Amino acid sequence: MEADNKKGHFIESIIIKDIENNKNKGRVITRFPPEPNGYLHLGHAKSICLNFNMAHKFNGTCNLRFDDSNPAKEKQIYIDSIKSTVNWLGFEFGTPLFASDYFEKLHEFAVELIKKDKAYVCSLSPEDIRKYRGTLTEPGKDSPYRERTVEENLDLFTRMKSGEFGEGEHTLRAKIDMASPNINLRDPIIYRVKNASHPRTGDQWCIYPMYDFTHCLSDALEGITHSLCSLEFEDHRPLYDWTLDELETPCHPQQIEFARLNINYTVLSKRKLQRLVEENHVQGWDDPRLPTLEGMKRRGYTPESIRNFCDIIGVSKKESRIDMTILENCLRDDLNEKAPRVMGVLKPLKVTIENYPHDLTEELAAKNHPQKEEKGTRTITFSKEIYVEKDDFMENPPKKFFRLGPGREVRLRYAYLITCKEVIKDESGNVTELICTYDPETRGGNAPDGRKVKGTIHWVNANDCIDAKVRLYDRLFKDENPEQDKQDFIENLNPDSLKELEFCKLEKSLINAAPENAYQFERLGYFCMDSKNQGSKDATKELPVFNRTVTLRDAWAKIAKNP
């Protein structure tokens, strides 16, 4: 089922062609180059999978390289988070690499460029640089410092490096063409002064290379063959190539751009995610509603499901918005295979079986997976008092409702057929309890007389179930495209994206649940224990909290909507 027998995307075609032509001696080396200035999200997962999969598929390697050339924004915690997230996703990268490891070499390259008179120290202020750059439709003007001598440039650059100047006083610029229709070629800045402390090099440097200079050279230094990046760098490719052409580098990697991932009802940009976190619209970077990989992990997404998703959505240059349901189905597919079945009642409704003995507790066998005998069975208990789901009872059920109602018979999964005899309500008319009878002949759920019972509902034994909280998540935004009509996406937040249920009753076996274990609560969906909740075998602690990862497909929900 995995990528192998599938037809490839355009990048794969390019790689195959390159291998056929013995380009790079048939080698394939890719890299995933995150800037450690935030947490990874699903969009990164697409890039991670692409880069690692291409490398693996063609017996190559993929480097994890931190693009850490801007100390003002980068932090060690992000480096740690990114490393563990890439591992969690299922990829091995050996020792991580850092652009900052190349600072010395990058500096030498810059000097080489100066010596070739292909770079100069510019002393224009930031505002003047902007003015001289021109606009989209007008060419720029040469900087008055453009014709400084090599010696002067060398001297100034040395002094920049030694900390003689403040931020913004001087920059090192590539000498290309101020009239280029491509703004990236209008003498781009390649080094600037920054007095920030770098998470890895500390205060060793006060000048830092810019992305365009750093990235292509880092790629070349690592022997990258295919440098895959997103569409917005397409305009930078001429600069990528210019730099590598001007300098003596070990190789000249090929930059190939692809469209970044978009998914409806959510946002996938670091900036927007950051805003959601900082303005407390969600509860942190690992909020299970967020498409951050840490949030998805906490929600219960499996790495396999994410990898499979990245696999089936394809790679192209077309900007697209992928349907959330595709992601959810990848998850369901995986969880359906793996998750053991259990029973849990989210909104409990007490049921008393009036003809069941007071003091009896029976043990019943329940399958852990209906299609996989090898997953075995577990024992569940049954007694006179049980809980069923409030939603499984209707006082005036519509035609197609197969569940409980006055006088109706349903099957309790793995237990007995019961019939609703009486509905007890409180003074305000809310149903508080059902009095039912059971048919002792139907132990296990089958009627000896062969009568058909259409509805099967889940339940837990009131005597030994455990109390828990359950968090139900819904889409984060109301609108398919949160940025619709360029209104502030915050206004599109779904106020009901999180619902916490506090009085849930779960079958006893869940006492052993751990955050990394997925369960299917039959008929409800897939759930996992929240990783920030340590659970409680001892009653003095807080209640265990479970996250609903995703619902089951629900045909009834559709019928109920359009009867």
Partner RNA sequence: UGGGGCGUCGUCAAGUGGCAAGACACAGGGUUUUGAUCCCUGCAUUCAGAGGUUCGAAUCCUCUCGCCCCAGCCA
Q: Which is nearer to RNA, 161 or 332 (CB)?
A: 332
Report 45-64 residues binding RNA (CB under 7 A).
Answer: none
Among 51-59, 150-158, 233-241, 345-353, which window interacts with RNA (CB under 7 A)? 233-241
To the query of whether residue 35 is one of the catalytic residues in this protein, the response is: yes
Angstrom distance (rounded) from CA 218 to CA 224: 9
For the residues of 478-502, what is the DSSP string, one character each?
SSSSTTGGG--GGGGB-TTSEEEEE
Of these residues, 23, 27, 35, 475, which one is catalytic? 35
Of these residues, 57, 118, 200, 260, which one is catalytic? 260
Interacting residue with RNA among 96, 284, 314, 406 (CB under 7 A): 314
Report 241-300 residues binding RNA (CB under 7 A).
Answer: 259
Angstrom distance (rounded) from CA 176 to CA 165: 25
Interacting residue with RNA among 149, 182, 377, 484 (CB under 7 A): 182
Question: Nearest approach, Cβ of 195 to RNA (angstroms)?
Answer: 11
CB atoms within 10 A of CB 127: 9
Interacting residue with RNA among 58, 301, 393, 401 (CB under 7 A): 401
Question: What are the angstrom distances between the C-alpha of 7 and each of 10, 52, 225, 279?
Answer: 10, 17, 22, 44
416-432 in b/e form (b: 16+ CB < 10 A) is bbbbbeeeeeeeeeeee
Interacting residue with RNA among 184, 352, 383, 419 (CB under 7 A): 184
Interacting residue with RNA among 181, 357, 376, 440 (CB under 7 A): 181
Among 118-126, 280-288, 374-382, 530-538, which window interacts with RNA (CB under 7 A)? 118-126
Question: Nearest approach, Cβ of 108 to RNA (angstroms)?
Answer: 18
To the query of whether residue 270 is one of the catalytic residues in this protein, the response is: yes
Of these residues, 31, 133, 148, 270, which one is catalytic? 270
Angstrom distance (rounded) from CA 93 to CA 31: 9
In degrees, rounded to 5, the angle at the alpha carbon of residue 319 between the alpha carbons of residues 27 and 136 is 95
Interacting residue with RNA among 2, 104, 108, 235 (CB under 7 A): 235
Cβ(424)–Cβ(433) below 8 Å: yes
According to the binding rule CB under 7 A, does residue 322 interact with RNA? yes
According to the binding rule CB under 7 A, does residue 446 interact with RNA? yes
Instruction: Quickly tell me which residue has 């006060």 as its tokens.
Output: 206
Binding mask 534-553 for RNA (x = CB under 7 A): ------------------xx
Question: Nearest approach, Cβ of 349 to RNA (angstroms)?
Answer: 15
To the query of whether residue 260 is one of the catalytic residues in this protein, the response is: yes
Report 468-507 residues binding RNA (CB under 7 A).
Answer: none
Question: Nearest approach, Cβ of 149 to RNA (angstroms)?
Answer: 21
Cβ(47)–Cβ(81) below 8 Å: no
Interacting residue with RNA among 80, 147, 203, 232 (CB under 7 A): 232
Report 62-101 residues binding RNA (CB under 7 A).
Answer: 67, 69-70, 72-73
Identify residue 276 by its one-letter amino acid code.
L
Reported for 326-333, long-range contacts at CB under 8 A and 24+ positions apart, including other chains, are 327/42, 327/263, 328/550, 330/305, 330/306, 331/301, 331/302, 331/305, 331/526, 331/549, 331/550, 332/526, 332/550, 332/552, 332/553, 333/305, 333/308
According to the binding rule CB under 7 A, does residue 451 interact with RNA? no
Cβ(384)–Cβ(549) below 8 Å: no
**Positions marked active-site:** 35, 260, 270
